[in-house]
Amino acid sequence: MFDPISHYSHISAAILAGGLGTRLRSIVPDTQKVLAEVLKRPFLTFLLDQLETAGIRHVVLCTGYKGEAIHKQLGDKYESLRMIYSQEDAPLGTGGALRLALPHLNSDPVLVMNGDSYINTDVNAFLDWFSLKDVPAAMVVARVPNTNRYGRVILDEDSRVKSFEEKGGKADPGWINAGIYLFKNKLLENIPRGKPYSLEQNFFPFLVAQGFYGYPCKADFLDIGTPVSYADAGNFFQKIRPAG
């Protein structure tokens, strides 16, 4: 009998948790950004809950700045999740950190999440959609009333990513990168090893040529990257009913 909880237990998930969090230092000066408290718990635990609800059991935390603090606070197990830490010795960017973690990511596809944002989506539904669409790479895209702060993702009629517009562009409604991705494992080998490399600036333009798709999701989205958005995080999680 099909068990939706265990259906994706083989999937490896990576969480990008190595950012410096420069913009948040005025209010959380001694804390790694993903450990910033929301409702008296580390923000990262909301992402871990989302993965556990999806039935995923293997998580790699891609750490850098204050990575030892994350390991010390969360340990090697969270509920039913087994956690491995991939610690960079020098800043490698989002792409370089993911490439460093590749030996620990044994599934195909690999699920990747930004550690400083949350979208209230059903991860299982994204995995189902990706499997049925049979594409090499995809991202969850969120619909927001103003894309100016985030940049914009331009999709064609088949939800294929055509291009990206930089932050500070149009202040109109549109689709933005919601920070959850699925990549065929083989694609990650194209990221150079041991060098600073950005997913957004370097890898995504490469993927557009390969076939990069957006999974449209009209769900509540939060990015804790600024003091204003972080201050609203408690209200955000109190209002939503987590999907899954």
- The residues that are catalytic are 167
By the 8 A CB rule, do 181 and 214 touch? no
Q: What is the DSSP letter of 200?
A: I
Strands (E), the chain: 12-17, 37-38, 41-42, 58-63, 77-78, 81-87, 110-114, 117-119, 137-144, 152-155, 161-165, 174-183, 212-217, 221-223
Q: What tokens does 152 get? A: 């914009």
Q: What is the distance in angstroms between the CA of the first residue and the CA of the last residue of the chain?
A: 20
Give the CA-trace dihedral at 144, 149, 150, 153, to 10 degrees.
70
Place of tokens 């041991």: 194
Strands across the sheet containing 212-217 = 77-78, 81-87, 58-63, 12-17, 110-114, 174-183, 137-144, 212-217
Phi, psi dihedral angles at 151 (to 5 degrees): 90, 170
| Neighbouring C-beta atoms of residue 13, cutoff 10 Å | 26
